[in-house]
A = this chain, B = another copy of it.
Amino acid sequence: MANVKETSTNSVNRRFLTSCDMTYAVQLMGGRWKLLILMRLAGGKLRFGELRKFLPNITERMLTLQLREMEEDGLLIRTVYAEVPPRVDYALTPIAHDLVPICQHLHSWGASHRKAHVGQASPMAHTEAVPQ
């Protein structure tokens, strides 16, 4: 496309509109997918297709968008290998790693709250396995 499209997925636009650190954190990790991606990558780097398998309900488009934003925000490193077929993997940056324990607390909180409130929690822990 000749039309150079300034995507609205611009980290400069997304990141600096607040002076509140909490709002900033929410902007970086908010949305439906980023915390799940972070948890998946906590165990080590993964390829695009592996992430997709672990997040069964995400579309390719959304996974791509979220990964790009997280990369722009300094949360992960994208490595492209010059091979055929193509290979790309994603790894957390140290700063993103700092967030992992916080996410685990959030996960535990969700588990206990859901158990207390719904009466039953699924044993599948981190796995997003909603049948569609």
Contact = CB atoms under 8 A, between A and B. Distances in A.
Interface of A: 12, 15-26, 28-32, 35-36, 39, 74, 95, 98-99, 101-103, 105-114, 116-118, 121-122, 124-130, 132
B122 A95 contact: no
A117 B74 contact: yes
Contact of A109 (B16, B102, B126, B132): B102
Given A25-B109, A102-B109, A109-B25, A20 B127 contact: yes
Given A32-B26, A35-B22, A17 B129 contact: yes
Copies of the protein in its oligomer: 2
Contact of A128 (B18, B32, B74, B114): B18
Contacts of A101: 105
User: Which of A22, A25, A112 has the largest number of chain B CB atoms within 10 A?
Assistant: A22
15 contacts: A19-B124, A19-B126, A19-B129, A20-B130, A21-B110, A21-B122, A22-B110, A23-B36, A25-B113, A26-B32, A26-B36, A30-B31, A99-B109, A102-B106, A102-B109
